[in-house]
Structure 1
Amino acid sequence: MTGDIRGRIIIEGTNGCMIKIGESMFGMPLEGEMLESFAAELGNMLAGNIATSLAGENTLIDITPPTVIVGNTKMFGFHEAINLPISLKGVGTLHIILMIEM
């Protein structure tokens, strides 16, 4: 994301968790490239909602295209990170992580 706040919004969850969310939204399990595309779109929906909420507080941000990371990774260059775990009954836990750039 860019604008008044620069950084990244990360949605961390297991494949099983993403499959269950996708199935609840579309009525069928998603796999492979469809699951990865859904994960990116879920990121767009959440980031867009966050941007809209912040605009109401006079903080302007623009969302950037999502990146889907499968597997382990390390990220550097951020000043601060906020982790919001969200537990979904029967699905699992998603972590919404806001990483603010230096």
Structure 2
Amino acid sequence: MTVHSIKEPSFQLLLKEVVDSINSVIPAQPIINHTPSIESAIPIDLGVSVHFTGDMKGLLFLKGEKDTFSSIAEMLYGMRLDGEMLTSFTGEVGNMIAGTLSTNLTKLSLKTDITSPELFQSDIFNVAHHEQALGVELTYDAHGVQLDVILMVVY
């Protein structure tokens, strides 16, 4: 049995906090599938990363098709987005989820801050230390979209 200190919660506990943070921002219940392994280079249609500083350093990366983020906008605001509004929204939803996660981490006695979101479009996201990353796929069946989430943490 592995015991983690309050300052170093398990990846599974952190991933649970990530999913809880997403669920508090996106008003729909996804089907959750854990990603068995993370590749070192991930092709991106549209994605956003937000870095964490403080007691926990690392990043949260959200990836999906443009339709994924447009559907999330529809879930939140009742309308789909495209073009510059969609890319702006993608950064903002990443910011909202990361900010919620940073707040939720205080329950684990972790004080963190977040950086500005970084957008990725039609690109490759290179995952440093991908063997230490955890991922989860969130499928929103009612909307026919999937959001891929990667969490990388360094203490």
So what's the TM-score if we normalise by structure 2? 0.60
- Matched residue, 2:93: 42
Moved over 4 A (4+): none
Residue 54 (structure 1) aligned to one of 99, 105, 108? 105
1:33 partner amino acid: E
Number of residues paired by the alignment?
102
Residue 25 of structure 1, CA deviation: 1.6
Residue 85 of structure 1, CA deviation: 1.3
So what's the TM-score if we normalise by structure 1? 0.88
- Matched residue, 1:18: 69
Larger radius of gyration: 2
Residue 94 of structure 1, CA deviation: 0.6
Could you list the runs of 5+ residues in structure 1 that have no partner in the other structure?
A: none
Residue 74 of structure 1, CA deviation: 3.4
* Residue pair 1:77, 1:101 contacting (<8 A) in 2 also: no
Q: Distance in 2 between matches of 1:27 and 1:75?
A: 33
Residue 140 (structure 2) aligned to one of 60, 75, 88? 88
Q: Distance in 1 between matches of 2:127 and 2:146?
A: 24
